[in-house]
Amino acid sequence: LSQAPMLQLHQLNAWYGESHVLHGIDLRVMKGEIVTLLGRNGAGKTTTLKSIIGVMSKRSGSVKVQGIETIDLPSRKIAKLGLGYVPEERGIYASLSVEENLMLPPRVKDGGLTVSEIFTLFPNIKERLSSQGTKLSGGEQQMLAMGRVLRTGADLLLLDEPTEGLAPIIVDQIGLALKELKKRGFTVLLVEQNFKFATQIADRHYVVEQGKVVDQATNDDVLRDESKMLKYLGV
Ligand code: ATP
């Protein structure tokens, strides 16, 4: 039996007000895959994630989550299909403690990780349980933001540049956590500028340019010949 993709975008268009930013994005992510969106600044990667969770002022085309069409659903209903979005700015509540940040988000689905499972995945934040959000390092904030969506029961994670601005040792820890999540059956679509990190964790990649997917490759293909991908990224 063939399985419906966890996520499938077909001819996705999206607008900020009058400004038409996505011009027919096509991609699919199967359950348990880690897939990246690569591309230069302003290409439309963040907008693609925002369109999937339904927070753009206007979108058209098709966005299916486990075979369910969401293009006309409000974002709270889309979230309940098991989507967990971590924005680039991470969205930690500054005045709340780590523990309160973890407890706050509503469940979207059964089967969310327990707090102790989250601490096993991200030992750094266990030490900071009663610290205020503002006191955390960038890496701790990223781990807390990821932990928070894992509490909700989301099993399709949309991560916007999770490694941005982080020290290499913290980037490695986030990579290990993502590999562990993959083993547990989570599905991840992430925007990533760190090409090396992307090739260490991902199964496949899509290249976005001017609001369209212009190329795609398996990670094995990219590792065999990095030059084509690097050219897209202007490296
Ligand atoms: P970056 O890495 O810089 O975030 P990106 O590939 O994620 O790049 P997007 O943030 O999706 O790119 O931006 C795509 C296009 O949409 C850009 O031309 C950008 O200027 C425009 N854009 C982004 N946010 C808004 C907004 N809130 N209102 C209007 N236009 C926007």
ipTM of this predicted complex? 0.95
Task: Name the DSSP letter for residue 214.
Answer: E
Ligand 1 near 47 CB (within 6 A):
yes
By most ligand atoms within 8 Å of CB, the mutation choice from 21, 22, 56, 190 for ligand 1 is: 21
In the structure, what pLDDT confidence band is assigned to residue 13 with cuts at 50, 70 and 90?
very high
pLDDT for res 104? 83
**Contact predicate 140/75, CB 8 Å:** no
- CA distances (Å), origin 94, targets 130, 137, 155, 232: 12, 12, 26, 37
Could you tell me where the beta strands, DSSP code E, fall in 5-74? 7-16, 19-29, 34-38, 58-65, 68-69
**Contact predicate 36/217, CB 8 Å:** no
pLDDT (tens digit, 9 = 90+) per residue, 59-98? 999 999 999 999 999 999 999 999 999 999 898 888 888 9
pLDDT at 1 over 70: no
Query: What's the mean pLDDT in 201-207?
Result: 98
Task: Provide the whole-model pTM.
Answer: 0.95
CA-CA distance, 175 to 194, in Å (whole number)?
Answer: 12
pLDDT (tens digit, 9 = 90+) per residue, 107-166? 888 889 999 999 999 998 988 888 888 889 999 999 999 999 999 999 999 999 999 999
Q: How far is the CA of 19 from the centre of ligand 1 (A)?
A: 10
pLDDT at 171 over 70: yes
